[in-house]
Amino acid sequence: MNTRLTWICHGATAASRKALFPLDEPLEDKAVEEAARMVAPLRADRIAASPALRARQTAQALRLEAGIDPALRDCDHGRWAGRPIVTIGAEEPEKLAIWMSDPKAAPHGGESIFDLRARVAGWMDAQSILGGHVIAVSHAAVIRAAVTHVLQAPLSSFWLVDVEPLAIVRMTSNGERWSLRFSISDH
């Protein structure tokens, strides 16, 4: 069964602009305006969004009626949530280095990159069984995990994937494997 998956990253927030580990913050006003000007794919068999406010607001600005799916939530950054990355680097350089070099580590008490990718891969594989076209409004980390899953890349490559706010990433599955899909149109 063929599946098309269109990922849409939520718009910019104060946390993303200030290099903070995210909390459940709203979109910046400018991000709402940018999303409203985008042409989102209008036809889909299923539309899902992360439960986070910023993802729900993005879906709303895109005029997508999305159901909430907890599997699309952002990476749990534990006690680092809401704190500047530079501060963590100064106060806990060893723990930050471990988190960025060992995909199974979660020194912040949250979710490891390994666990994040397993969660995202499980969600994607469930969508592949259902087939059709699905749109997912989620987070940069979730989309990065999806890309590493599709490419069957080592988890160290997670840090080499850059997903900007409001980016659209397309993937397809033939029921046996996922592929990245690059196109100039939604067809």
For 34-67, how does the pLDDT look when each residue is reduced to its tens digit (9 = 90+)?
A: 998 987 666 899 999 999 999 999 999 999 999 9
Upper half-sphere CA count for residue 121 (Cβ side, 13 Å): 16
Whether the model clears a pTM of 0.85, i.e. scores above it, the answer is yes
Cα 85 from Cα 81, distance rounded (Å): 10
Which of 68, 54, 67, 59 lies closest to 41, judged by CA? 59
Q: What is the pLDDT of residue 40?
A: 63
Upper half-sphere CA count for residue 162 (Cβ side, 13 Å): 2
Given CA atoms 178, 183, 186, 187 in this order, what sign does their dihedral have?
Answer: negative
CB 172 within 8 A of CB 4: yes
For the chain (length 187 residues), average pLDDT per consecutive 10? Answer: 95 89 92 86 89 96 95 97 95 96 96 98 97 97 98 95 95 95 68
Q: What is the pLDDT of residue 185?
A: 56
Domain ranges within the chain, ordered by starting residue = 3-181
CATH of domain 3-181: 3.40.50.1240
Q: What is the pLDDT of residue 187?
A: 41
Query: What's the helix, strand, coil split of the chain in %, to 5?
Result: 45, 20, 40
Q: What is the pLDDT of residue 173?
A: 97
Q: What is the pLDDT of residue 58?
A: 96
Q: What is the pLDDT of residue 165?
A: 95
